Chain A
Amino acid sequence: MATLDSKVPEGPIKDKWTNYKNHIELVNPANKRHIDVIVVGTGLAGGSAAATLAELGYNVKAFAYQDSPRRAHSIAAQGGINASKNYMGDGDSDYRLFYDTVKGGDYRSREANVYRLAEVSGNIIDQCVAQGVPFARDYGGLLDNRSFGGVLVSRTFYAKGQTGQQLLLGAYSAMNRQIARGKIEMFNRHEMLDVVKIDGKARGIIARNLITGELERHSAHAVVIATGGYGNVYFLSTNAMGSNVTAAWKVHKRGAFFANPCFTQIHPTCIPRSGDYQSKLTLMSESLRNDGRIWVPAKLEDAKAIQEGRLKPTQIPEEDRDYYLERRYPAFGNLVPRDVASRAAKERCDAGYGVNATGEAVYLDFASAIERYGKEQAKLKGLNNPSKEEIIKLGQDIIKAKYGNLFQMYEKIVAENPYETPMMIYPATHYTMGGVWVDYNLMTTVPGLYCIGEANFSDHGANRLGASALMQGLADGYFVLPYTIGDYLADDIQTGKIPTNTPEFDAVENEVKERIEFFVNNKGSKSVDYFHKKLGKIMWDKVGMSRNEKGLKEAMAEIKALREEFWKDVNVPGNANEMNAELEKAGRVADFLELGELFAKDALTRNESCGGHFREESVELEGEQKGEAKRNDEEYAFVSAWEYKGEPADAVLHKEHLEFNDIELKQRSYK
């Protein structure tokens, strides 16, 4: 049975990674040609890993379910990427980035991994600029920065509101260079449906060609999972429609432990839902909180009038507004971390102060920023005694330059002009901090099987600070995995090509085939989406932002029952040997129906409020933090790593105790 050995190197935290790199095994460049690596997923983590491994000389096979690696959902990240460059001279350092990330994650991440992340963060910016990523510049031609929730320095590098897009296109261009050289073989429109182990080691995958339906066997000396998060377990999330848990879940079923499944990030600034037909939610970058002030009406009758459409937000005078984040958290104000902002919004809406028809929205108001910028511009332009209209026009131009694409996106979806009336926002599921358990080398509990980016668990604890997902994806792909995987592959230089005509490949392919045949032959009465929506509702109501023991137990039973119904009654039209989107979805929802139950089970065993996860039984009862979430370090300072044993309810818990030697564990305060 696999055991948990985090393999964190000895020594002071600031020297661990350097010492480690100095002592790992290297593969001779001439031998790398004889080694194959499979990378599943081509977002920031997978794309950068594939490009770098190919650059080093390994033969890479990369897989993406989309038609091009450029469409991975990393492309939708908006706000920016952190790096401890201290270009602004505001006191930033590797240690501070490390500290903020560990604190922001509510002390549930692995210290050594996070320090390494901070340490390589500066390299990422250098690398991306060299690749031609057009980051924002100041007038002197140097890189510009902005600030994000949960921190007191400006360390976020950005490319308008499309930072993820530009970073992904950078990694994609690096991949293209390797594809042109023949070092990456790219498989578009292919989905990994299982992993193949030989003598206990990951040696290949079974993939389905999504155009022809053909099942393919691909072998390699190591397999890297880089398939992102599982937020779509909620049905409504900010993830792309195709984002799924399948690869991560299949490796879990083959022996990789799954860590902290219940740590999900609820993002505070999403466009609220409008109806039951809705297919997904849209995120508005958190960077908007730099200039937007969040409020709800202070009086219940005003809130009611707004909900009924009798009153407009602009008609409510300043003194009748409740800027609740500024009121509750004066030090951080509107820039508190995502979990704090999300919970505070839910608290106000639950109390009846929500501002749209469903009562599930708060305002994000740019009026005072527009006026402030307008006055500054008027001064810069030497305008004497400018009119209010002139000031507003000048201020709107500045806001447009900073967030134009986000404002346009909002206007398209909601059909309201956010320059003139405050935006409405509400929390939504965004990023999953849990994922496949990995050691310091980013290897799972299955030898030769690696997991990077959002698909693993290690760096974000129970909550992710803004602009740190892009950082982790690229750190893992460009700068961590390429070293650590060599240490493992050094033993494989004599192995030669791994054959695919073996009993191990036969057996796994047969299982995959049987499952597909089941789906297309079942001819039940309910569509895949019917089950996915039902699962999502259970998850949001009982395993969402706020949870309690009773609800979690109910959720586990309800998900199990829903899963049984799914396997009896799901209807998948069409055939296996053709492009069949419903068949693809069926396989993914089947996996979500198992993950969802483990997710609830994990939440049940963690009787503490932590990160985005508010456990109703665990709340501060007195003192300055009264009413805030209460973490419990004595009992829960560990990673929950689940071992698969058949039914999700039977999964066995292994604990990796978290040690904090360089950061004192203390209550998070943003007051």
Chain B
Amino acid sequence: MMHVRRSPEEIAANRARYEEHQKKGLEFAPKALPGPSPLPAPVIEAAAIIHQEIVPGGWYWSSKLLRGEAIRIDQGEGNSTVALVAWNAEDTSERINLVDTAKVQWTTALGKGRVIFSDMGRVMFSMIEDSSGAHDCLMGGSTAASNAAKYPGEKTRNTRDNLILAAVKLGLDKRDIPGILNLFAPVRLAEAGGFAWQGKRTNSGDYVELRAEMDMLVAFSNCPHPLDPDPTYQPKRVVITRYKAAIPAADDLCRTATAEAVRGFENNALMQA
């Protein structure tokens, strides 16, 4: 097959542009980020609370979440991993996209100050608070088969089935379930590519707060992570609070921390004009 290659000059110019983006992405953003939020979690003003749901261990929950609202996920009793997916309420073909989220922010490590992207180059969530700093956007959740292998003979619920239930009750189906974000899952990747669980979590009471940057449908599953070292199936309840968030300031951390976040919010503004 005949093929005309690009000129060395064109390649060199594109490479120089990439390396500039890469340098900024890898070196600038981590310096701007503040590290984990302090514990214990501050009290949310009662007047701001729209709804509070206690999701028992092993169960799921979904909600509408409007732009400007936020959601706090509080693991309270510790040892809970919460899987999260989300769809644009106006067009559910737009949904959380974790491969883009990691790629465009140059990191799989999500924490306070990071944002979570949709597949359309727009910001769905700002991670406005996060005491944990240990979340997993790679490995996905448990399934009936993975639970059967890990907890033989036990009756358990799993993330895959939970999210199918949540999606179907929202009028969606299993085709609509995107890759999931595991909150409170300290998974790290070795140089060779193998996954490991980084010891036992000690911070009972860890919490994450996500501010909605568009109107969304969100679904949560509260089941143990596939790598959770606890051999017993005993997921703890989590408390999820939907509340009216403060209006972001001009220098809002999540909106200004990186060039990528700034451009993502510019894409949001085009949709929301």
Do A and B actually bind?
Answer: no
